[in-house]
Amino acid sequence: MPSVVGLLEQHELSARRRVDGLREEADRIQAELAAAELEWQEWTIARRRVDTVLAPDDGATAEVEVTVDPRDAQVQSALQDAAKPKSQVPMWRQGLAWSVLSADYQRILMALADRARLHQGPLTCQEMAVAFGLDAVPAKVEALRSKAKRLVARGWLAERQPGRFTLAAGVSGPGDGS
């Protein structure tokens, strides 16, 4: 007859394997989501560029909305809300003000600027969540990680060590015009 401890170890091993499998699946879904978001942004940019090219001579953007199915109206509304200029992160360049970013992104930059000013080094997303007064639960931490990774991809932040974020070279405080 197997021992109680042996049975507990088997159950623990089984649970750990399940957790590992779910983590791998979550990582795969996160990567797939990132790719889908990138594709969506590219299509949004393409549509805006075409709107600009087809705009009347006064430079105003042509507004065209075609709704075939009532369900499409909900999707179109969600896309318009999600594609507001403040929700997009432009590529960083010298002289670009922080005000082009939404409040959430500015808050991340401000926290890292304060750390840099105090010579305290990089922050993890979990530390950011705590600093912002959020519960350090996976959903909140992953939302911050997604925003931080987007800022890294656009040149606002640097990630010299995995999961540890700092301001990118050249990016300084909000009052400095960058």
Q: What span, in angstroms and rounded, lies between the C-alpha atoms of 6 and 123?
A: 41
Residue 74 predicted with pLDDT over 60: no
Residue 51: CB partners within 8 Å, gap ≥ 6?
61, 62, 63, 64
pTM equals 0.49
Mean pLDDT across the stretch 42-70? 67
Q: For the segment 121-155, what is each residue's pLDDT rounded down to a tens digit?
A: 899 999 999 989 988 899 999 999 999 999 999 99
More confidently predicted of 126 and 64: 126
Closest to 127 (Cα-Cα) out of 79, 84, 166: 166
Q: pLDDT band at 58, cuts 50/70/90?
A: low
| pLDDT score of 158 | 92
Percent of the chain at pLDDT > 90 equals: 30
Is residue 13 classed as helix, strand or coil in its secondary structure?
helix
Domains observed in the chain: 1-83 (no CATH), 90-178 (1.10.10.10)
Mean pLDDT across the stretch 43-64? 71
Angle between helices 138-153 and 103-117 (to 10 degrees): 80
Mean pLDDT across the stretch 52-81? 52
| pLDDT score of 78 | 41
Which two three-digit tokens encode residue 119? 């010579």
Counting Cα atoms < 13 Å in the Cβ hemisphere of 113 gives 16
Percent of the chain at pLDDT > 70 equals: 78
Torsion angles phi and psi, residue 31, rounded to 5: -65, -40
Mean pLDDT across the stretch 89-94? 86
Q: What span, in angstroms and rounded, lies between the C-alpha atoms of 42 and 54?
A: 18
Burial of 113 (0-12, 13-18, 19+ CB in 10 A): buried
More confidently predicted of 135 and 75: 135
